[in-house]
Amino acid sequence: MSDHVYKKVEITGSSSVDMEDAIKNAVNKCSSTIKNMDWFEVMDTRGHIKDGKVAHWQVTLKIGFRLD
């Protein structure tokens, strides 16, 4: 039970709303193909500027999940 092994994948989510939403979009996208997602770590936060305003929030995260 105790000697689990985990894999981490690096994902960039984007959103026009805010940083939390960019993270949720990334996690949501992965949930369709990855089982047993357990945690995420924010690596990097960026964004796109258009016409002098923030147009998109882009957050890169590592998502850790348990290998069966």
Contact residues toward a copy of itself (CB under 8 A) are: 2-16, 18-20, 23-31, 37-42, 44-49, 52-57, 60, 62-64, 67
CB of 68: closest distance to a copy of itself in angstroms?
Answer: 10
- Collapse the DSSP code of 26 into the 3-class scheme (helix H, G, I; strand E, B; otherwise coil) and give the result: helix
CB of 23: closest distance to a copy of itself in angstroms?
Answer: 6
CB of 25: closest distance to a copy of itself in angstroms?
Answer: 5
Contact 59/13 with Cβ under 8 angstroms?
Answer: yes
**Pairwise CA distance, residues 35 & 47, whole Å:** 29
